[in-house]
Structure 1
């Protein structure tokens, strides 16, 4: 036991490990709030589409010599803004996401093929590379950690109305389409920003799982969001330390840790009906 603690202490002295830990803490502040938005708006397909768009951005970055993660962030932001006008009905968004996924992965594979770029660097990000987190990644996660909770606090009334009922939000003077555009862009950028931490295939550990657990513990949108952030911090810290101690890949350990917490939270009997949660049929802006 003492030897294991000594080894863990030695690992925590390493700069890459410290950067990875800082990145996970920053991610735990902003990304669970994004998860609350994804669950509340019932826009699960968005994160899958943005994984493919991020891969396209990485491929373009490898081809042009630019930073692949910066290209991924820009590509996801543009894609999120581009599909916002189509998000007027659930079917409209689902169709747009399906088309976006197909086109993005095809374009990424074609770019990698014709350019002669080694595809291993691009596809490695599907599984994450948390110890390669650099200063630029920390800046992105830090901005998200400030911007996402700040937006939530500033527009919490509008967000609550948007999650409850779109028509009511419109009647209350909320600029639904503009707010939805902003949310989709933030979701897209957040997914791209988290890819290096857990990989595109496991990004749900940092976004959705804390939000799903928080829904069973909170009684309002604000309390659910606070629960999501607290759970995210606890899960990221615990999962990372377990991975270091047992010499395991952090991504899967984070997912399993977050999943265990989410399952445990769902064993708690639900005592109330949450009025803030919009029905699936009202999850998108009106076409009026």
Structure 2
């Protein structure tokens, strides 16, 4: 196993998955606290559209997916504000239109089925060094945002109206959270795919919510659990020859079931 770590693709995969595991669950906490789960589904569909465009036009899938997700978020937020429509309704519409466009690109440009399915399970070991640096930089940005605005975020999570009346620009924080979530979803899909995305984003946050006593504890424990799942899942995948994404999801699922059962037993 140690010999495999000397291979550049394996080493890059380990490096990126470790940083992502210790940072990406922050956005999972945001999604749960602000009830933005429909946004996650919209971004997953947008990432598939971005990947389909990249495969059809022979662009870089990583950066194309990022761009498509950012454009979708900007369109959603602008439409929601100008037309005063609920973001859940807008995201539902964009889910449908984005996946429709994705299938059109796949059909019209004869994108191979195998390449299309890679959008669903990720390509951790096919990262370039530019993509590695991009993920590492974003991981640092995500932690910096959480540390810089931790007090304002706590106020927004408690009550948005009270936060606004206290002088917190909750609208700006809301849009920043959506943009960070869009980038996180696009990057996580590249690493472990759309089907197992929640193993890296939501399960660590859900597990932390079961035993942490404060928002600060939820954030810290989410990142710790995400890092543990990423590292253990990665080495499990090397040991028994399964996809790294499956290893991460398997470890996260087992721990979630154990902690959830114990939490229910303790409460009863």
TM > 0.5 between the two?
Answer: yes
1:169-188 to structure 2, matched below 5 A, reads 169-188=163-182
Equivalent residue, structure 1, for 2:148: 154
Q: Is the aligned partner of 1:239 residue 2:233?
A: yes
1:4 is aligned to none
The residue number in structure 2 matching 1:145 is 139
**CA drift at 1:119:** 4.7
Aligned to 1:77: 70
Q: Which residue of 1 aligns with 2:112?
A: 118
> Offset at 1:161?
1.1
Gaps of 5+ in 1: 1-7, 273-288
Higher helix share: 2
Question: What runs of 5+ residues in structure 2 fail to find an aligned partner?
Answer: none
- Distance across 2 between alignment mates of 1:225 and 1:11: 33
CA distance in 2 between partners of 1:200 and 1:134 (Å): 20
Contact 1:63–1:115 (8 Å) recurs in 2: yes
Is the contact between residue 35 and residue 211 of structure 1 (CA under 8 Å) also seen in structure 2? yes
Q: Secondary structure at the match of 1:9?
A: coil
Q: Tell me by how many angstroms 1:125 deviates.
A: 1.8
Give the secondary-structure state (helix, strand or coil) at the position aligned to 2:69.
helix
Q: Could you tell me how far 1:38 is from its partner in structure 2?
A: 0.8
Match of 2:12 in 1: 19
TM-score by length of 2: 0.92
Write the deviation string for residues 103-162 of structure 1: whole angstroms up to 9, x where unpaired: 001111112222334353233121122221221321222122111111111111111111
1:81 and 1:184 in contact (8 A); partners too: no
Following superposition, the deviation at residue 268 of structure 1 comes to 4.1
- The C-alpha deviation readout for 1:147-196, integer Å capped at 9, x for no partner, is 11111111111111111111111101111221111111111110000112
- 1:259 to 2:253 alignment: yes
Residue-pair matches, total: 263
Measure how far apart 1:87 and its partner are. Answer: 7.8
Residue of 82, 86, 94 corresponding to 2:88 = 94
The one of 223, 227, 233 equivalent to 2:221 is 227
The superposition leaves residues 191-241 of structure 1 with CA deviations (integer Å, 9 ceiling, x where unpaired) of 000112211111111110111111122222112111111111111111111
Q: Counterpart in 2 of 1:275?
A: none
Shift of 1:245: 0.2
The list of structure 1 runs, each at least 4 consecutive aligned residues, that deviate by more than 6 angstroms after superposition, is none
Aligned partners of 2:128 and 2:81: how far apart in 1?
A: 34
C-alpha distance in 2 between matches for 1:117 and 1:238? 34
In structure 2, what is the Cα distance between the partners aligned to 1:256 and 1:13? 25
